[in-house]
Structure 1
Amino acid sequence: MSTTTSTPVLLAPRHLTKHLKSFLDKSAWRDKAKLIIHCSQITFDQPSATTAGSTTGGQDKDKDKFNGCDLTQYMAMALLPVGPFLHQPTTNTGIHSLWDLTQDPSSLPSNDLSSVDWPAPFSDPILQKTIFLTWLSPTAFPTPKHLLVQTPLEKLQHATSEFLLPYLQSWAVSDLDHKQEQEQGEQRLTPELLPELIASLPRKWEHYSDFTFLPPTAFLTAPWPAVLKRLIALDQQQGGESGHNGIMARWEKLIQDALGSTHIARKAIIPVQDILRRPKIRPLAGDWKLHNRYKSWIEAEEEGEGERSQTNLVEHQEMSSDLSSSKSGIVMNAINTSGTGTGSGAGAESTGLYESTASTTSTNSDVLPTPSNFQKAYWSETCQNQVFYTWSPMFTMFSAGNITEKERVAKNRPLFDARNKVVVDLYAGIGYFTLVYLIHAGAKVVHACEWNPWSVEGLVRGAERNGVSWKRYLDEIVRIKKDHGQKEPGQEQEQQPFTTGHPTPCHPPPPQLITTTTTTTTIKKRKDYGQLIVYPGDNAQWIEYFENTAHHVNLGLIPTAEPGWVLGVRALCPLEGGYLHVHHNIRVGEEESFKSYLLQSLRDLFSTWKKCNKEEWSIEIRHMENVKSFAPLVFHYVVDIECRPLSFTTPL
Structure 2
Amino acid sequence: SLLSSFPGTYSVYPPLLLLPAHAFAAPPWLALLAALQTHPRRLAQLYASLAASVHTTHIALNAPIPLQTATTHDAANILRSPVALTPLHNAFGPAPTPATQTAPSAADFGDAFWCTARQNGIAQTWAPLYTMFSRGNVAEKARVLRLPSVRGAVEEGSCSAVDLYAGIGYFAFSYRRAGVARVLCWELNPWSVEGLVRGCGMNRWGVERMAVGGEEEEGGKEVPEAEFLVFQESNEHAGGRIERLRDRLPPVRHVNCGLLPTSRGSWRTAVGAVDPGLGGWVHLHENMAVGEMREKAEEVTREIDRISGEEGRGRVRLEHVEKVKTYAPGVMHCVLDIWI
- TM-score, with normalisation over the residues of structure 2? 0.86
Q: Matched residue of 1:264: which SS?
A: strand
2:72 is aligned to none
Distance in 2 (CA, whole Å) between partners of 1:424 and 1:438 is 11
Matches within 5 A, 1:38-57: none
Q: Matched residue of 1:290: which SS?
A: coil
Q: Which moved more, 1:394-403 or 1:246-255?
A: 246-255
Matches within 5 A, 1:140-151: none
CA contact 1:418–1:442 (8 Å) conserved in 2 = no
1:409 is aligned to 144
Matches within 5 A, 1:85-484: 195=1, 197-222=2-27, 224-225=29-30, 227-235=32-40, 246-273=41-68, 274-279=77-82, 280-291=84-95, 354=98, 368-419=103-154, 420-439=158-177, 441-474=178-211, 476=212, 479-480=213-214
CA drift of 1:535 comes to: 0.5
Question: In structure 1, which of residues 527, 531, 543 is the aligned counterpart of residue 239 of structure 2?
Answer: 543
Q: Matched residue of 1:560: which SS?
A: coil
Distance in 2 (CA, whole Å) between partners of 1:421 and 1:562 is 25
Runs (5+) with no aligned partner, structure 1: 1-194, 236-245, 292-313, 316-353, 355-362, 484-506, 518-529, 644-652
Distance 1:230 1:367, change over 3 A: farther
Distance 1:403 1:261, change over 3 A: same
CA contact 1:453–1:537 (8 Å) conserved in 2 = no
Distance 1:414 1:582, change over 3 A: same
- TM-score, with normalisation over the residues of structure 1? 0.46
Q: Matched residue of 1:551: which SS?
A: strand
Question: In structure 2, which of residues 267, 270, 276 is the aligned counterpart of residue 565 of structure 1?
Answer: 267
Q: Matched residue of 1:553: which SS?
A: strand
Distance in 1 (CA, whole Å) between partners of 2:286 and 2:102 is 30
Distance in 2 (CA, whole Å) between partners of 1:581 and 1:226 is 48
CA contact 2:101–2:130 (8 Å) conserved in 1 = no
Query: As a proportion of its length, which structure holds more strand?
Result: 2
Which of the pair has the greater relative contact order for Cα pairs under 8 Å at 6+ separation?
2
Paired residue type of 1:469: G
Paired residue type of 1:376: D
* Total equivalences in the alignment: 322
Distance in 2 (CA, whole Å) between partners of 1:366 and 1:428 is 17
Paired residue type of 1:538: S
CA drift of 1:211 comes to: 1.6
CA contact 1:389–1:430 (8 Å) conserved in 2 = yes
Distance in 2 (CA, whole Å) between partners of 1:250 and 1:437 is 43
CA contact 2:308–2:316 (8 Å) conserved in 1 = no
Distance 1:512 1:423, change over 3 A: same
CA drift of 1:632 comes to: 1.1
**Structure 1 residue 509 and structure 2 residue 219: aligned?**
yes
Q: Which structure has the bigger radius of gyration? A: 1
**Structure 1 residue 618 and structure 2 residue 334: aligned?**
no
Distance in 1 (CA, whole Å) between partners of 2:184 and 2:133 is 21
Distance in 2 (CA, whole Å) between partners of 1:508 and 1:388 is 30
CA contact 1:421–1:444 (8 Å) conserved in 2 = yes
Q: Matched residue of 2:38: which SS?
A: helix
Runs (5+) with no aligned partner, structure 2: 69-76
Distance 1:367 1:539, change over 3 A: closer
CA drift of 1:599 comes to: 2.1
**Structure 1 residue 632 and structure 2 residue 329: aligned?**
yes
CA contact 2:17–2:54 (8 Å) conserved in 1 = yes
Distance 1:405 1:211, change over 3 A: same
CA drift of 1:200 comes to: 3.2
| Identical columns (%) | 34
Distance in 1 (CA, whole Å) between partners of 2:218 and 2:119 is 38
Runs of 4+ in 1 over 4 A off after TM superposition: 365-368, 510-513
**Structure 1 residue 589 and structure 2 residue 285: aligned?**
no
**Structure 1 residue 532 and structure 2 residue 228: aligned?**
yes
Distance 1:566 1:637, change over 3 A: same
* Cα distance per residue 1:517-553 (max 9 Å; x no partner): 8xxxxxxxxxxxx710001120112321213652111
Distance 1:510 1:465, change over 3 A: farther
CA drift of 1:416 comes to: 4.6
